[in-house]
Amino acid sequence: MSEPTSGQDDGREELPEEIAAIFQEMTGGAPIPPEVARQLSAMGIADADPAQLRAMAGQMRAMFSPGATAKGVDLTQATTTAREVVAEGDRTIGARETNLAEQATRVAGMWLDEVTDLEAPGLTGIAMTRAEWVEETMPLWARLVEPVADGVSGAIRDSMTAQLSGPDAPDLTALGVPEGTNPLALAGQLAPMIDRLGSALVTAQTGSAVGALAEDTVTGTEVGIPLLNDHVVLLPANIAELADGLDVDIDEVWLHLAVRESARMRLFVDVPWLGPQILAAVEEYARGIAIDTSAVDRAVTQLEPGDVAAMQEALAGSLFRPSPSAAQQAALTRLETWLALIEGWVDVVTARAAGPHLPKTDALAETVRRRRASGGPAEKTFAGLVGLELRPRRLRDAANLFAALEDAGGASARDAAWGHPDVAPTSADLDDPLGYVERTTGAKGGQPASSTGSGPDAGDPEQTGASGSEGSSPTGAPAGDDLDAELAALLDEEARKREDPGTSDDA
C-alpha cells in the first residue's frame, strides 16, 4: 500500500485509520479525497465493522477482476459456495459404500425388470459425496437460473437509476462526480458494475441453495429433474441421516431408495421427451420471473452496493414478485404436472417392485411421502432459486391415476401413458383420474388399485410395520443381516430365478 506524502490529506482525519486503509487498498493506494471521506463518514462507514468491510472489499475486487462473470451465474464461484455449505458434514466414500451402491442398484434393476418394461440398460450405481453431487449438478442449475440473474441485474439497474435521478438523489459532486453529469448517463456507465453485482447476488444465492439441497437429497435426481444421466447415484451421508430414527433396517433403506432412483432414471432414459419438457418448463418460468422492485429499492437504498452478502440477506424470501404472470402460471402448471407424474409413477412402481422383497416397503414409502409433504428437496430448491411454489397434493393424485391405470389394464397400460407427450396425463386428468383411465383404456368405473399395503395410499407406519419386529423378508434374506451378505444372497437368488423361471420364492 502506498504511503501518503507529507501534508497529503488521505481521508484519515474523517475515517478510522483501519477503514481508510481498506479504501486505499481498493483504489490501489490512491489517497481518498476529503469530500469523499466526509461523505463516507456521513453514511456511517466510520462505524462499520472492519472485518465485514474488508470482506465487502474482497467481493468488490472479485466483481471487477478480469475473470469475473459479467452476467449470469458464475459457475466456479457458485460451486465453491455450495462446497463450503456442505463441507462440515460431508465425508469420504469408503469401499463398502461403493459396493453398497453398486449391488443395491443391481438388485433394484432385477426387481424393476419384473414390473415394468421401461428400460435403462447400462446404468450402474455409484455413491457420491455431497461435494461430488454439487460438482456434477451445478452446470445444469446455473443454466436454469441464468434468466433470474438477468432479471435481478435489470431490477437493480432500474432502482439505482431512479435513486440517482430522483428528488432524494445523493450529492454526486461530493462523490467526485463532475458537476452537471447526467444521472442517466452515469447509470449507463455503471451498467457493467450492476450486471456484475446482479451476477454475484444470484451466484451466491444459487450456491447456497444447491449446497443446502446437497445436504438433504438422498439420491441423484430426487428433485425430479434429470440432473444426472449416466448413473444411479446415492448419497451415503444423507441416507444415514434419513435412516436415523426410523425403525427400519439400514439395508432396506438403501434398497428401497435404489429402487426409487432406478425407476426414476428409467423414465429419464427410456422416455426421451420427458427431461427436455421439464427443463423447458423451468426455463420458461425463469425467463418470465418478475423481480419485486420495491424489495430491491429498499436494499439498494439501505445497503452498500458492493456488499453482496448483506444484499442477499436483505432480499432473502422477498426477491420474487408473488403473483406470476399468465405465461408463468402455464409453465408452473406444466412443471408441477410433470413432477407429480414422475413421482406418482415412481411411487406405484416402487411399491410393486420392492413390496414382495422388502418387509417394510410401506413404512419407507410413508416416510418419503411425509418428507415431501413437509417441504421436500424439490419444493425448497425451486422456491429459493426461481420462486416456484409446488403443491405436494398433486403427487398423490398422480399416484392414484397410475394405480387406476394398472388396475384397469395392468403394467402395460400404466407405462403406456409415457408413450408420447400428447397422450400423457394433464393437470385436468389428475383432477379426474378415472376419466383418463376410461378414455385411454376403455375401462369403466372402478377405483384405483389398493393392493395389500403396497399401493400409493398405504397407511401410517404404525399400521404398516414400521414399529414391528424385524422378521424375515419374503426372499428369505434376514432383514437384520449385514448388508453385503444380504445383497449377495439376493443377487444369487435373482440369478437362479432367471436361469430357472419355474423356481418359486418358497422353493
The DSSP annotation for 63-128 comes to HHSTTS-SSS--HHHHHHHHHHHHTTT--PPPHHHHHHHHHHHHHHHHHHHTT-----TT-EEEE-
Q: Which of 367, 429, 428, 370 is nearest to 404 (CA)?
A: 429
Residues 35-51 have a mean pLDDT of 64
Q: Give yes or no for a contact between 390 and 336, defined as CB atoms under 8 angstroms apart.
A: yes
Give 283 or 507, the one with higher predicted confidence.
283
Q: Tell me, what amino acid is at 253? A: V
In this structure, what C-alpha cell is assigned to residue 486? 444380504
Same domain, 44 and 147: no
Is residue 45 included in any domain, yes or no?
yes
The residue segments making up the domain with residue 216 are: 75-164+184-335+352-384
Q: Which of 378, 342, 370 is nearest to 223 (CA)?
A: 378
Is residue 465 included in any domain, yes or no?
no
Q: Tell me, what amino acid is at 368? A: V
Residue 233: its pLDDT value, please? 98
Residue 471: its pLDDT value, please? 37
Residue whose C-alpha cell reads 469401499 in the numeric block: 95
Is residue 226 included in any domain, yes or no?
yes
For residue 296, pLDDT beyond 90: no
Residue 428: its pLDDT value, please? 95
Is residue 297 included in any domain, yes or no?
yes
Residue 251: its pLDDT value, please? 85
Instruction: Report the C-alpha gap between 432 and 13 in whole angstroms.
Output: 75
Residue 196: its pLDDT value, please? 77
Give 382 or 234, the one with higher predicted confidence.
234
Q: Which of 274, 233, 276, 462 is nearest to 363 (CA)?
A: 462
Same domain, 53 and 196: no
Residue whose C-alpha cell reads 440517482 in the numeric block: 164
Same domain, 204 and 285: yes
Same domain, 31 and 123: no
* pTM score above 0.95: no
Residues 56-64 have a mean pLDDT of 55
pLDDT above 90 coverage of the chain, percent: 38
For residue 332, pLDDT beyond 50: yes
Residues 312-324 have a mean pLDDT of 58
Is residue 33 included in any domain, yes or no?
yes
Give 182 or 87, the one with higher predicted confidence.
87
Same domain, 25 and 152: no
Per residue in 377-390, pLDDT tens? Answer: 667 677 766 666 66
Same domain, 199 and 322: yes
Same domain, 30 and 84: no
For residue 111, pLDDT beyond 90: yes
pLDDT above 70 coverage of the chain, percent: 59
Give 38 or 398, the one with higher predicted confidence.
398
pLDDT band at 82 (very low <50, low <70, confident <90, very high): very high
Same domain, 137 and 57: no
For residue 450, pLDDT beyond 50: no
Q: Give yes or no for a contact between 404 and 433, defined as CB atoms under 8 angstroms apart.
A: yes
Same domain, 46 and 85: no
Same domain, 132 and 54: no
Instruction: Report the C-alpha gap between 479 and 186 in whole angstroms.
Output: 70
pLDDT band at 169 (very low <50, low <70, confident <90, very high): low
Is residue 69 included in any domain, yes or no?
no
Give 112 or 474, the one with higher predicted confidence.
112
pLDDT band at 459 (very low <50, low <70, confident <90, very high): very low
Same domain, 45 and 123: no
Q: Give yes or no for a contact between 261 and 300, defined as CB atoms under 8 angstroms apart.
A: no
In this structure, what C-alpha cell is assigned to residue 72? 449470469
Is residue 380 included in any domain, yes or no?
yes
Residues 277-293 have a mean pLDDT of 79
Residues 403-409 have a mean pLDDT of 95
Measured on CA atoms in the order 136, 385, 155, 173, is the torsion positive or negative? negative
Q: Provide the number of structural domains found in the chain.
A: 2
Most confident of 188-192, 376-380, 400-404, 460-464: 400-404
Q: Give yes or no for a contact between 129 and 234, defined as CB atoms under 8 angstroms apart.
A: no
Is residue 205 included in any domain, yes or no?
yes
Residue 163: its pLDDT value, please? 67
Same domain, 51 and 84: no
